Amino acid sequence: MGSTIPTKRALTAGLAVLVAAGALGTGIALAAGMHQASSKVTVGVKHTSLGSILYAGPKHLTVYMYTKDHGTKTACTGECAKFWPAVTTAGNPTPGPGTVAVDLGTAKQRGGVTQVTYKGHLLYYYAADKSSSSTAGQAFDNTWYALSGSGAKITKSTSSGSTTTTKTPSPSGGWA
């Protein structure tokens, strides 16, 4: 019969395809370095080849400060934010080993995103850092630096020289 009414089986199959596509899209976004806001992101101190530095999140990923930021407003937007996603939270950040609550804070950014701060520095991940031991963003373009537990900028370079991105910042603060 030439009926155009979808069958229950066809609707179920269509729904399964949509769910799978949504899951695939989420996986791609996470693989591209997008970090989703956590209800309570933890910021602590870990020991690396750079010395004792800050980490955030359940994977203990290295966090960085951006020297072009002014106060609590990010200078890293657009293409820059794809490579350097903000450490965000949907609640108050939690102090981990080596940090104390009074040093942690938050700052509202465009779009209502709540970015985590440490001793006044906005915190960012580097998309190429995939493990807790990675510090590939250290001293990138002489503007991105890991922070010590005291909140001081770490100026030591990584011994591996493993920075692989070829993107460069434009004069407007974006990425070319």
Has this prediction a pTM greater than 0.75?
A: no
Kindly state whether residue 90 falls inside one of the protein's structural domains. Answer: yes
The pLDDT tens digits of the residues spanning 135-163 come to 999 999 999 999 999 999 999 987 554 43
* pLDDT value for 157: 83
Query: What is the strand order of the sheet 121-122 is part of?
Result: 104-108, 114-118, 121-122
Task: Please list the ranges in the chain whose pLDDT falls under 50.
Answer: 8, 10-34, 161-176
* pLDDT value for 176: 38
* pLDDT value for 37: 53
Kindly state whether residue 152 falls inside one of the protein's structural domains. Answer: no
Q: Parallel, antiparallel, or unpaired: how do β-strands 51-56 and 42-48 relate?
A: antiparallel
Kindly state whether residue 68 falls inside one of the protein's structural domains. Answer: yes
Q: Parallel, antiparallel, or unpaired: how do β-strands 94-95 and 42-48 relate?
A: parallel
- 20 membership: H or E segment, kind and range: helix 8-31
Count structural domains, the chain. Answer: 1
Kindly state whether residue 3 falls inside one of the protein's structural domains. Answer: no
Kindly state whether residue 83 falls inside one of the protein's structural domains. Answer: yes
Kindly state whether residue 15 falls inside one of the protein's structural domains. Answer: no
Kindly state whether residue 137 falls inside one of the protein's structural domains. Answer: yes
Kindly state whether residue 168 falls inside one of the protein's structural domains. Answer: no
Range of the domain at 101: 37-146
